[in-house]
Amino acid sequence: MKLKFILACTIGASALAAAAIPARAQDSVTLVTNAYRTGGFSGSGIPLGNGMRDYIALVNAKGGVNGVKINFEECETGYDTKKSVECYEQAKAKGNILYLPWSTGATLAAIPRLHIDKTPLLSMGYGLSAAADGNTFPWVFSPPLTYWDGASVALNYIAGKEGGMDKLKGKKIGLIYLDAPYGKEPIPFLTNMSKKFGFELQLYPVPAAEMQNQGALWLNIRRDKPDYLYSQGFGAMSPTAVKEAIKNNFPMDHFLGVWWSGGDNDAQAGGAEAKGYKSVTWHQVGSNFPLIQEIIKEVVDKGQSLTEKGKVGEAQYNRTVYQGVLITEAMRNAQKITGKKVINGEDMRRGLETLEITDARWKELGLEGFAAPMKVTCADHGGHNKAFVIEWDGTKWVKASDFIAPSIDEVLPLIDAAAKDYAKTDGWPKRSEACDAK
Amino acid sequence: MDFLIQVIWEGLVAGVLYALIALGFVLIFKASGVFNFAQGIMVVFAALTLVGSYDKMAAVGFKGFPAALVAVAIALGVMFVLAWLVERLVLRHLVNQPDIILFMATFGLTYFLIGFGEAVFGGDPKIMITQQLGLPTGSTEFRLPGLGPNGKDGLVLIQHIDVAATVIASLMIAGLAVFFQYTRIGRALRAVADSHKAALSVGITLNQIWVVVWFTAGIVALVTGIMWGARSDVSFGLSNIALKALPVLIVGGFTSVPGAIVGGLVIGIGEKLGELYLAPLLLGSTMGRGVESWVAFIIALGFVMARPQGLFGDKIIERI
């Protein structure tokens, strides 16, 4: 009798457990992001990590995406590509629906494996510019714009100041960049543009080990006297560059960084003297948006955030809120296309490929005026969307231009050529994935 | 010509700052014969303690120069406790062990301090409290008649913080040189460096000497952290600067305080001249340069081949 009772209990418990496992799995997906809250790049990595973390916490607090919660995890890389590869493998084993490498080096390392592992990769505003060609890279997405678009927006802004692209002839434009795949990414585009429009491109590489020791490099800049300086810096490199620019009396209003050089930490290092320093970006800064206010109320004020309240709405923080929106919108698309609630990596790829956020949708999301409408298509995974320029007023970033479109006519031929070149790699597959877009 | 003067001035400033880093290594090498791999992270740890303490006080309304002085006192106290703990928990147990064991122990200390520091201070970069410490900011332009391009007036820009760094570092180096040469502890330290056993046999307290030396290296680390932090920010990436001490030590010698100064100046000026004048010859005018990061090691390699013990290092003679 006793044995029968124990057996019955065991069978009953097993049945309950078996029933519980799929029920739990059905209402959640796993999303693992690379992060770097430690090391020399933590100045950029921490606010970037915080924005994404808080946004996902809000989504989950509101019941998830159509009832599906996001099991969100960070994998610390210290901005080390080797550790990123380990993180990729660990995330894959956990059923990660989307790889977020957060480094161009890590992006390059992962690209050859994505179609095999059926995991899409989102490198929002970074990574390999050529991968914006969706026909060659169906698993890679880099909206809302690539580094080549960013450099193009910067040139268009400078040209606007000078009175037209033809006025760039004879000018010297310097590129100060982290001597890593990320930093080098705009060089082909800028080289091409310098030949076409007759400006002289000066290159100033900063090795990672010398990020905080740029003395000699700035002597070069002082000697060369570039008319404008475009920075592709990251981590500790950017605040050091801002300080060196001040120290060397470089006109700050002629110093313009890509979005990753435009963090609050970067400009704060120069304080009031950094006034006039600029950055290209594609989204607004500040917390005066209903969605950001909701994050403060539901996440930050409830002690669930790693962010100080005063830092919510900073440039890098808002950037990963934007990324969070892209991800949840893509999840919704994937659920709609497949009819499934719990999606996998292949479904997520389809969701990303049909991503479109209109002005009306930005408003519905509580982010009216936060960014330009954006769209991804099967052929165009980069978006080449509009961006604008923000300027440091001595204490905070303020908007300094209207939306500026990248010169797509200049960017696309380069992307086509670079993608074709990449596709010559042995064994690179021809696209076989169907296109869901109508 | 004015540009050359500017380059040499910048090289001198960089050289003095490199000498500061190298000094921390020299102190510990002299006392224990070990290359302290942890010196770079000690610079970061000291600077973070300073800035972190100040920020905490500022948060409750205690700001300005008095608060900065209290923060300096706290940072010095923390560096003393660190020195005491290093002696008590690590070095004491490794007396008479091979140098490589001590070297590996400093590796362990490095990674402990990185993890502990990130746990205590967080990974956020912090802004050095330059003005609160009373350090000067701004710059002065010097016009040099006839020394500019095409016979025009030349211009040399001198940063006030660089002048302050040079003066402070020079005073500190001079003070340490006197301390080692003319004080009882300084002589005891040199005895310990020659032989632990011999020093013990004549009554020198090894443990006390180690605490003194590690604390002195901690003071040097704090000054280094302030000076480098003022040029950039205070973050864990700053520990990479310690790599620059290697060529300085090779040039100047691992055991010489004056060697750290001369080595620092040779490397500081050498790398600036290399970047500004050698790189365009090698790589062209618009190519990416980055010569600065490796030219120091080429200079050091030349010294290793010509004079392995460095300019001022002790010549090693082993009897067979």
Going from the N-terminus, what domains does chain A have, and what CATH number goes with each? 29-146+286-385+415-423 (3.40.50.2300), 148-284+390-414 (3.40.50.2300)
SS3 A133: strand
A chain contacts of residue B272, beta-carbon cutoff 8 Å: 215-216, 219
Indicate the residue of B118, B157, B243 with minimum beta-carbon distance to A249: B157
Q: Which residues are CB-contacts of A386 (< 8 A; sequence separation ≥ 6)? A: A282, A372, A403, A404, A405, A406
pLDDT of residue A2: 54
| 8 Å CB contact of A205 and B244 | no
Is some CB atom of chain A closer than 8 A to the CB atom of B290?
A: yes
In chain B, how long is the greatest CA-to-CA distance?
Answer: 69
* A88 CA: distance to closest CA in chain B (Å): 23
Which pLDDT belongs to residue B191? Answer: 80
Compute CA distances A88 → A92, A94, A104, A131, A342, whole Å: 6, 10, 14, 19, 21
| Residue pLDDT tens, chain A, 438 long | 454 555 555 555 555 444 444 444 458 999 999 999 888 788 888 999 999 999 999 999 999 999 999 999 999 998 889 999 999 999 999 999 999 999 988 999 999 999 999 999 999 998 888 899 999 999 999 999 989 999 999 999 999 999 999 999 999 999 999 988 889 999 999 999 999 999 999 999 998 888 888 888 888 898 889 999 999 998 889 999 999 999 888 999 999 999 999 988 889 888 899 999 999 999 999 999 999 999 999 999 999 999 988 899 999 999 999 999 999 999 999 999 999 999 999 999 999 999 999 999 999 999 999 999 999 999 999 888 899 999 999 999 999 999 999 999 989 999 999 999 998 877 788 989 989 876
Q: Dig out the tokens for B34 from the structure.
A: 């070990």
CA atoms of A231 and A174, how far apart (whole Å): 8
For B163-180, the pLDDT digits (tens) are 998 898 888 888 887 887
Q: Do A203 and B287 make contact, defined as CB atoms within 8 angstroms?
A: yes
Nearest to A224 by CA among A240, A194, A253, A202: A202
- Residue B175: per-residue pLDDT: 86
Rounded CA Rg of chain B:
21
pLDDT for A437 = 72
pLDDT at A1: 47
pLDDT at A19: 47
Q: How many contacts, defined by CB atoms under 8 Å, are there between A and B?
A: 128
User: Does A215 contact B10 at a Cβ distance shorter than 8 Å?
Assistant: yes
Complex ipTM more than 0.90, yes or no: no
What pLDDT, on a 0 to 100 scale, did the predictor assign at position A419? 92
Angle at CA of residue A234, ends A231 and A240, nearest 5°: 75
Residue ranges in chain B whose pLDDT is less than 70: 283-290, 314-320
pLDDT score of A9: 52
Report chain A residues touching chain B, CB-CB < 8 A: 37-43, 45-46, 179, 200-213, 215-217, 219-220, 222-223, 235-236, 239-240, 243-244, 247-249, 265, 268-269, 271
Give me the pLDDT at residue A14, please: 54
